[in-house]
Chains A and B, each alone.
Chain A
């Protein structure tokens, strides 16, 4: 028995150094061993959940390892003896990070610069110290900004006026997740105004409102030019997302001849059929009570009412 124990001790003594020198195995990403020897799910910065994401799909040879984004970080890995605190990795992405914003985004753009992110550097976001990780969460399966229902929580971090506008009675179904900010805007930059997904305001609106496109026999100039002359897509208290209620909106452009300068009148009084024009320009659908086809009419029949979008 004693001999057996001696043999076991000898075996352990001989094999232990060899085991200690064995390279650590990667846990999630290819080449992550030098990071995951310290960082795991119980760490201050849990990292392993990246394995649940596309970045963690190691069968795709393009996927990164920790140092692809965070840099080689030699000083972080091998803390200098005289350092009071362990130096941070070369690139960090948290709220207190000192890594410049363009360098943080640069880490992502190394792989993601193409297609819809082609114009990132010229975007309003890039110009206002916003980086990819200002919005995106990389180490989690559920990135809030990529979920239509939770996306606004991220956008409202900065776009606070829209947060209130989206709660108004005339609105898109954004709160319900049926329309997302990214349906109209490309937050990664575009050649359209206001970082819109299409090349113009109207082209973006036509994605869902193609019936307004025409062209028509009778066209309404501002309608053809820019929907946002009259509408605020983020929400209003006026019907149909109008910036201003008729007749005031219409009176912003139309010459005051004829009934165009009609002073709207209080319609609270009991109104029998046959309202006055003063009432009809502001009550019900306002000017559109008559000018029904305000976005354009394709009715070619000669006679009255055609030029005024009334039929």
Chain B
């Protein structure tokens, strides 16, 4: 294989640069075939335009050139089984990753890992707000569009250290520590009726995680136990807000920021193979979450200096799987989880204790206790049919404050039954169909009363508490139609029906949910050197809700032309497809291409339920659909100049289109505007030279 023209010149230059690495081509020896490979690449990239979507997480968000530098260097001492690995990915970008690890396999190992995760906010902020990035911000009135322009971003920098050691045969210790700094700004705000102000959330946080385990494994028995601890530290605990005249006073002068908190958990788990086909497992864990940061703002006299937040958690699980008969498999699982919120209560908001208030001014600890059980069975029938069936039960118990603004039931129970049939037809086709029916119900809803004891609204069964019937049907087909052609089809249909509460003759709150999903995948192998793939999917999810403005005492639906009972029907439709091509055109040249497109439409239809046809003053005007279209084309080429040296080139074209109107024309009372480019097109070109070391 003799490269020609410019490639030869480049190869000669590389030979001069890399010397022995460019040894003459030769058939690989056995030693080479079993020696771990290493690779490093160096190149440049170019982004054609500033963009807010394509580069949101990869750091390629600004027009200009970028350094493309990657490395994966692996060395193994075959005599001792000691691995040494250094890997770096995207080293020239803000999304860089670095890792160094050394391991004597089966004995000890350690690693250090760095990862940087940028997030560039997809919006452009134009504001007069002063003090962005600090905890003292002054709202300033500007003419819309005449303020300063900002592109917010956050960045996480994560370091992870870890090590392991085989202490005794079958006994291994493993420790991992991760610390992450997150800094930056994100869109925020504050408001009250008719007065919405912009703020920038100043983020300066550190999270730490320690995971230490001891694991024992010997034949039929495996055990593991350990400690998992986390801490969250926020250097900004309150945002102080002022105003600059002529803008009036802010709705609130102090905005709480997330408080420091921590968690500790001890866990112990195990598994035992009673027979080659029967196994039991368990896990128990106890934990504690605490939040004791001193309040940064003034509390009422007599209040504690901090919340003294404490949540104790308990988990117990036991599982069993067996094949009591050659054709029968059984699996059972029982799980108990208790979140016991032991945070002391105190009347932090005494001014709220008025007759018509929907809270009693206390903080509200939340207990949640979950008990679940599951039993699955499958049986091999004649003619390659396999029958599956299962039952699952989930019971959740929660507590509630005595005065509340949202309806509540203390217990929900959900039972799900499933049945499925799978069949393998020859070696080329497998089909499966399954049906699941779930029913959620629970205890009576508690009666909502105001702090003064009078009846409050009792109309809605909240989404996660409502009685619900769920039906799901799923069908899949895998078909190797020919040696070259493989096809896969899938269809999911689901429906949720919410019932259980009626007020003034109307069923309000969540009413219905529907889901449909269809997909088809195909792969065709033209030859060893050319393969093509194609896929398409279509999903439609619909959710329906009903509401009514309330009035009177007790509160009931007003049900008038001016204040009708109304509903909304939200439909999300996603049509996506992709095409792919992988080819090796010559011994040196590989080309691959991928094209994907997603087209998503959100429809938000509001309509009058009663009085029929009521459209008061355009209040039920049709909300425009929101359409989002993402199109990506990627073309990669890889040309081998030598057996261990080559050039890779890539071109990515990305287009993001949206008609999202929810920020368009929105102006904060301080004049802040937030916009995004509705049609973003960007091209990325990259070329890099790589060498196998």
Chain A residues close to B by CB (< 8 Å): 27-28, 41, 48-54, 56-63, 95-96, 98, 102, 106, 113-115, 118-119, 121-122, 126-127, 129, 141, 149, 160-161, 163-165, 167-169, 173, 175-178, 191, 199-200, 206-208, 210-219, 221-222, 224-226, 229, 237-238, 244-245, 248, 251-257, 259-261, 263-280, 282-286, 288-290, 292-293, 297-307, 310-311
Contact = CB atoms under 8 A, between A and B. Distances in A.
Contacts, number: 429
B119 A213 contact: no
Given A56-B34, A299-B255, A300-B295, 12 more contacts: A122-B281, A173-B117, A199-B315, A221-B364, A229-B463, A244-B543, A268-B624, A271-B666, A282-B662, A284-B189, A299-B295, A307-B359
B570 A300 contact: no
A280 B661 CA distance: 13
A59 B207 CA distance: 39
Contacts of A304: 351
A188 B687 CA distance: 38
B549 A261 contact: yes
A288 to B, nearest CB: 8
B319 A217 contact: no
Contacts of B555: 257
Contact of B661 (A98, A263, A267): A267
Contact of B207 (A167, A210, A283): A210
Given A114-B215, A118-B271, A160-B521, A257 B36 contact: no
27 contacts: A51-B33, A52-B36, A59-B105, A118-B271, A119-B319, A168-B630, A178-B115, A211-B234, A215-B309, A215-B311, A216-B309, A217-B307, A221-B400, A221-B408, A244-B570, A248-B543, A248-B570, A252-B545, A256-B457, A261-B566, A268-B664, A285-B187, A286-B662, A298-B258, A301-B298, A303-B349, A306-B348
B690 interface: no
Contacts of B261: 210, 213-215
A311 B662 contact: no
B545 A261 contact: no
Contact of B224 (A118, A191, A275): A118
A254 B263 contact: no
Contacts of A122: 281, 319, 321, 331, 333
A251 B662 contact: no
B196 A169 contact: no
Interface stretch (B4-12, B18-26, B73-81, B641-649): B73-81
B3 interface: no
B459 A284 contact: no
A60 B255 contact: no
B460 A121 contact: no
B337 interface: yes
A282 B238 CA distance: 27
A292 B255 CA distance: 9
A289 B33 contact: no
A113 B217 contact: yes
B157 interface: no
B663 interface: yes
A298 B547 contact: no
A57 B674 CA distance: 57
Contacts of A219: 363-366
B105 A54 contact: yes
Contacts of A58: 78, 81
A46 to B, nearest CB: 9
B337 A280 contact: no
B457 A257 contact: yes
B406 A253 contact: yes
Contacts of B655: none
Interface in B133-167: 144
Q: Which 10 A-B pairs have the closest CB atoms?
A: A51-B34, A59-B81, A173-B57, A211-B258, A299-B256, A253-B462, A210-B232, A300-B299, A255-B457, A215-B309
B33 A49 contact: yes
Interface centre among A211, A271, A283 (most CB of B within 10 A): A211
A303 B352 CA distance: 7
A206 B460 contact: no
Nearest to B388: A127
B448 interface: yes
B598 A121 contact: no
Interface in B298-350: 298-300, 303, 307, 309-311, 315, 317, 319, 321, 323, 329, 331, 333, 335, 337, 339, 341, 343, 348-350
Contacts of B205: 211
Nearest to A41: B33
Contacts of A255: 405-407, 448, 456-460, 550
B688 interface: no
A161 B537 contact: yes
Given A60-B105, A271-B666, A168 B600 contact: yes
Contact of A266 (B33, B174, B350, B623): B623
Interface centre among A214, A218, A283 (most CB of B within 10 A): A214
A213 B263 contact: yes
B653 interface: no
A264 B623 contact: yes
Given A115-B224, A248-B568, A215 B289 contact: yes
Contacts of B502: none
Contact of A113 (B34, B192, B222, B490): B222
B106 A191 contact: no
B414 interface: no
B620 interface: yes
B452 interface: no
Given A215-B307, A248-B570, A301 B299 contact: yes
B363 A217 contact: yes
Interface centre among A141, A164, A169, A264 (most CB of B within 10 A): A164
B688 to A, nearest CB: 16
Interface centre among B117, B598, B662 (most CB of A within 10 A): B662
B232 A211 contact: yes
B191 A280 contact: yes
Contacts of A214: 259, 261, 291, 309
B281 A121 contact: yes
A214 B364 CA distance: 12
B674 A284 contact: yes
A254 B460 contact: yes
Interface string B47-81: 00000010011100000000000000010111111
B295 A310 contact: no
Nearest to B191: A290
B671 A52 contact: no
Contacts of A267: 661-662, 664-666
A273 B668 contact: yes
Interface centre among B28, B234, B368 (most CB of A within 10 A): B368
Contacts of A63: 105
Contacts of A248: 543, 545, 568, 570, 604
Interface in B423-454: 427, 448
A225 B281 contact: no
B539 to A, nearest CB: 6
Contact of B281 (A118, A168, A169): A118
Given A163-B537, A263-B606, A303-B351, A61 B106 contact: yes
Contacts of A261: 547-550, 566
Given A176-B58, A298-B258, A292 B351 contact: no
Contacts of A216: 259, 291, 307, 309, 363
Nearest to A239: B662
A215 B668 contact: no
A289 B670 CA distance: 14
B258 A212 contact: yes
